[in-house]
Structure 1
Amino acid sequence: MKLLICIIDNFYADEVEKQLRDKGYRMTELASSGGFMKKGNTTFLFGLEEDDLPALRSALKEACAVVEERKQRKNKQAHRYTSFLLDVKDTAPLFLTT
């Protein structure tokens, strides 16, 4: 089991969430603020099997491209989102309580 942490530009967030939910992906959305990547962002957490990762990454790219086309964003973003992939077994120490 893997955990994909995806920090996405707010420009894409609503449509990405809608499209991925329509495709059956389950996610947790975290409202966040701060200076990461120097702009407004939304963080999504996805739990998935490693075999499903290529399809999820493809769905993320496709959803972002649809937003750019629909909203006619003139200059395409080189970095629509940043993602981190963690093995769930490696995250256990983060969630232990004493």
Structure 2
Amino acid sequence: MKLLVCIIDNVYADEVEIQLKKQGYRMTELASSGGFWRKGNTTFLFGVDEVDVTQLQEALKKACLDFEKRKRRASKQAHRYTSFLLDVKDAAPFLGLHT
């Protein structure tokens, strides 16, 4: 099991949430701001089986690109989101869980 932490620009957050829920992904959403990208962000936490990681990453990318296409909006930044992939066993201290 893996934990994908995805910090995404607020512009894309609703589209990511809608599309990925339709695909059956479960997520926890945290509103976030501060110094990471110096603007409003949303942080998603996804629990996913290791074999499904690539599929999830492609779904995230597709949701962002679909939003841009629908809104006729080209991204002005190099990144739409930043993600970190952690083994669940490594994520327990990060999340404050003790086994």
Q: Summarize the Cα distance change of 1:62–1:34 in structure 2 as closer, same or farther, 3 Å threshold.
A: same
Matched-pair identity in %:
71
In the TM superposition, what is the alpha-carbon distance from 1:40 to its structure 2 partner?
Answer: 1.3
**TM-score, normalized by length of structure 2?**
0.89
**Hey, which bits of structure 1, 4+ residues long, moved more than 6 A?**
none
**How many residues are paired up?**
97
Equivalents in 1 of 2:13, 2:7: separation in Å? Answer: 9
Unaligned runs of 5+ in 2: none
Kindly indicate whether the alpha-carbon contact (under 8 Å) linking 2:68 and 2:75 is maintained by their aligned counterparts in 1. Answer: no
Task: Kindly indicate whether residue 68 of structure 2 is the aligned counterpart of residue 72 of structure 1.
Answer: no
Which secondary structure state, in structure 1, belongs to the residue aligned with residue 20 of structure 2? Answer: helix
**Equivalence for 2:52:** 52
Kindly indicate whether the alpha-carbon contact (under 8 Å) linking 1:68 and 1:76 is maintained by their aligned counterparts in 2. Answer: no
Unaligned runs of 5+ in 1: none
1:78-89 equivalence runs, <5 A: 78-89=78-89
Which secondary structure state, in structure 2, belongs to the residue aligned with residue 82 of structure 1? Answer: strand
**TM-score, normalized by length of structure 1?**
0.90
